[in-house]
Amino acid sequence: MTNLTYAEENYLKAIYQLSEEGKKGVSTNDIAAEMKTKPASVSDMLRKLGEKEVIEYRKYYGVHITEEGKKFALRTIRKHHLWEVFLVDKLKFSWDEVNAVADELQHIKSKILIQRLDEYLGFPKFDPHGDPIPDEYGDVRARPRLPLNELSILDTGQIVAVKDNSSAFLKYLDKVGAYIGARIKVLEKVEFDGSIEIMVDNKKTLFMSKEVAANILIMQ
């Protein structure tokens, strides 16, 4: 049975998530940016992961995650998201505080602990940031989502997730009152800079930059 170090699990998780964004082959530069490290360090890690047959890497063709690698990555993602739910729902962390803590907890190996955690939480399907939680078999319940900036004037929908879960971005959303579950309606789009005006819960109007709107995911 293949065993991965904490660092290898982190890299594999990042490679899986980058590959899910539609890239045919994930580049070392993509991985370096995601892991906030140098390409040379990535190359060394890719060699180790290749030896464990969880990725395939060919120079100039990028990194492809294997089926075995996907199983490892989804297991880590499942634990990460479940711990985020626990931290927010049970320990009253705010959603901008949980990512770093869950990064540590996601490496716990006990299968029975994660099963009981899932049961204790009521088998949640989505984490506090709206990301789907893989079940114990690695199945993911996806739902159709569009970046807010791609909606047209008078379109309506519900905020269901965020692409950027950095503390700074989540604190900004808290400040302006944009939260998971909020109902929105697009009132105006500015052609010059792509900024957008929306109505939230039929109560208040918000103005957002194109960059902010691109990181908010809507279900119509």
Residues of the chain with pLDDT under 50: none
What does DSSP say about strands 196-200 and 62-65: parallel, antiparallel, or unpaired? unpaired
Q: Is residue 169 part of a domain?
A: yes
- Of 49, 29, 47, whose CA–CA distance to 38 is shortest? 29
Q: Is residue 31 part of a domain?
A: yes
In angstroms and rounded to an integer, the radius of gyration of the C-alpha atoms of the chain is 19
Q: Where in the sequence is the domain holding 40, given as residue range(s)? A: 6-65
Q: Is residue 190 part of a domain?
A: yes
How many domains does the chain contain in total?
2
Tokens (6 digits) for 151: 């909606």
**Residue 217: beta bridge partners?**
147, 161
Q: Is residue 88 part of a domain?
A: no
Q: How far apart are CA 197 and CA 153, in angstroms?
A: 9
**Domain of residue 21, CATH code:** 1.10.10.10
pLDDT digits (tens, 9 = 90+) for 91-126: 999 999 999 999 999 999 999 999 999 999 999 999
Q: Is residue 105 part of a domain?
A: no
* pLDDT at residue 105, rounded to an integer: 97
Helix (H, G, I), strand (E, B) or coil at 145: coil
How is the beta sheet containing 146-147 ordered, strand by strand? Answer: 146-147, 216-219, 156-162, 183-189, 196-200, 204-208
**Domain of residue 199, CATH code:** 2.30.30.90
What does DSSP say about strands 62-65 and 146-147: parallel, antiparallel, or unpaired? unpaired
Tokens (6 digits) for 73: 């990555």
pLDDT digits (tens, 9 = 90+) for 122-148: 999 999 999 999 999 999 888 889 999
Q: Are 203 and 142 in contact (CB under 8 A)?
A: no
